[in-house]
Structure 1
């Protein structure tokens, strides 16, 4: 099988090319197993070489509000009142633990994003 960890960009691009060639391999074949292993190795390399930082919690909330068609008033049940929502969204107040729990339970916002340090 001769598969190894990726150590540089050249090996990375070669692995991506091989993944493209194996993409339609029938399940249960040696080719599909090779595809799966290569995919894991590429993912490891990408996570180390190109890490993705957690988004800013307030920016995340704004993006999700837009995606869900929500306005600030829709956040009142999760943040307590209009004043709290306004202060949080304008970065004059941080999210409280209760707000984080409510946003997670009610809107399924990821905890790891909500507890992250704001970037601004």
Structure 2
């Protein structure tokens, strides 16, 4: 696959597949391609996160889950099963301890999780 900037989710998925294919690369050329693809993915994901500023925290969590193949169970491992369900269903606001835990576990900037949002 030829290196190119990533512009959308389909290209992101293809880039991640290429990274997986190159993961155990041994040749210098393949190792460099792996590093280049990883950098392109990082740039695209950073751009997505930067554009997500001002979006409510639940949307940020859901975007993180979608981009990185995370599930409700993965969120539950960070904040607890019932809390994960309540957060994603907008029945409970994030607490400071939840924000810290999600920030540490998933490397989401904490400032993207602190805004208030409507709860059901």
Range of TM-score over shorter length? 0.5 to 0.7
Counterpart of 2:67? 67
CA displacement, residues 47-82 of structure 1 (integer Å, 9 cap, x when unaligned): xxxxx8611100110011000101100012221x21
Supply the distance in 2 between the matched residues of 1:72 and 1:54 (Cα, whole angstroms): 23
Counterpart of 2:97? 98
Question: Normalised by the size of structure 2, how large is the TM-score?
Answer: 0.52
Aligned residues: CA RMSD: 1.8
Q: Which runs of 5+ in 1 are unaligned?
A: 1-51
What is the Cα deviation at residue 119 of structure 1?
Answer: 5.4
The count of corresponding residues between Structure 1 and Structure 2 is 68
Q: Is the 8 A contact 2:90 2:118 kept in 1?
A: no
Supply the distance in 2 between the matched residues of 1:99 and 1:118 (Cα, whole angstroms): 15
| Superposed structure 1 runs of 4+ greater than 4 Å apart | none
Supply the distance in 2 between the matched residues of 1:112 and 1:54 (Cα, whole angstroms): 10
Q: Which runs of 5+ in 2 are unaligned?
A: 1-51
